[in-house]
Chain A
Amino acid sequence: AQTVTQSQPEMSVQEAETVTLSCTYDTSESNYYLFWYKQPPSRQMILVIRQEAYKQQNATENRFSVNFQKAAKSFSLKISDSQLGDTAMYFCAFRSGYSTLTFGKGTMLLVSP
């Protein structure tokens, strides 16, 4: 069974600074997908970014980028130029093939002025 571990229950950052959220996973699969979802206080789950394991290039979406280390089974999320609206719970998730998503426990990110 796959497991996803987020070792940081809470993180704080000031506006305009950069923050990195950590995620590690365990799998014996070779082809899989990794995601970061954001859950703001509205509780809506929003997809932030995804990474296909077969792609060596790290995914980027505007201020959000990942550092995907396949051998280390690590998938961290970097948020640049943090904004107040980035305050949310962030979930790392894993999916292999057509299986279901496995979520980590989440990291609460607080962006302060």
Chain B
Amino acid sequence: DAGVIQSPRHEVTEMGQEVTLRCKPISGHDYLFWYRQTMMRGLELLIYFNNNVPIDDSGMPEDRFSAKMPNASFSTLKIQPSEPRDSAVYFCASSFEAVPYEQYFGPGTRLTVT
């Protein structure tokens, strides 16, 4: 298996632009998580899905952030409009319900908003 796939690996954009981050979970996994990592706040859970349904989005910082999972093999995290304080590494992770204690992480997307 290729593992969790994220794209792009790096994104540089100007303030005010829309940013879309993409994630392909491991095939067969039914949980998908989006995290944000910064030096100041560490790793934060933004939102997670179970069977494509958002379960908890209480970590989403504000309405500028949105996430979707249209099918079991694809999810997006969108920021519109982006701000410099959104600069961070964004990770996607997936897990399988029958083995609930292990999450597999993607390589992350480093986002820089200038």
Measuring CB to CB, which residues of chain A are less than 8 angstroms from any residue of chain B? 33, 35, 37, 42-47, 50, 52, 91, 95, 97-98, 100-101, 103-106
- Which of B15-23, B42-50, B77-85 sits within the interface? B42-50
**Residue B54, interface by CB 8 Å:** no
Binary CB contact string for chain B from 83 to 114 against chain A (1 if under 8 A, 0 otherwise): 00000010101000100111111011010000
Contact of A100 with B42 at beta-carbon distance under 8 Å, contacts A33-B101, A44-B107 already known: no
Contacts of B93 in A (CB 8 A): 45
Known: A43-B89, A97-B100. A103 touches B42 (CB 8 A): yes
- How far does the alpha carbon of A45 sit from the alpha carbon of B93 in the complex, in Å? 9
The A/B interface has a contact count, at CB < 8 Å, of 41
Find out whether the CB atom of A45 lies under 8 angstroms from the CB atom of B91. Answer: yes
Q: List 15 interface pairs A-B (beta carbons < 8 Å), by A numbering.
A: A37-B105, A43-B107, A43-B108, A44-B105, A45-B91, A45-B105, A47-B102, A47-B103, A50-B101, A52-B101, A97-B100, A98-B97, A101-B103, A103-B43, A106-B42
Q: Which residues of B contact A (CB under 8 A)?
A: 33, 42-43, 45, 48, 56, 89, 91, 93, 97, 100-105, 107-108, 110
Nearest CB on A from B53, distance (A)? 14
A42 nearest in chain B by CB position: B107
Question: Which A residues touch B45, using CB under 8 A?
Answer: 100-101
When distances are taken between beta carbons in the complex, the residues of chain A under 8 Å from B97 are 98
Least CB distance from B52 to A in Å reads: 17
- Cα A52 to Cα B102 with chains together (Å): 11
Contact, CB under 8 Å: B48 / A100: yes
The one of B42, B101, B105 in contact with A105, judged by C-beta atoms closer than 8 angstroms, is: B42
The 10 A-B pairs with the shortest beta carbon distances in the complex, nearest first, are A45-B105, A33-B101, A103-B43, A105-B42, A43-B108, A100-B45, A44-B107, A98-B100, A95-B101, A100-B48
**Residues of B contacting A97 in the complex (Cβ-Cβ under 8 angstroms):** 100
Shortest A65–chain B CB gap in Å is 18
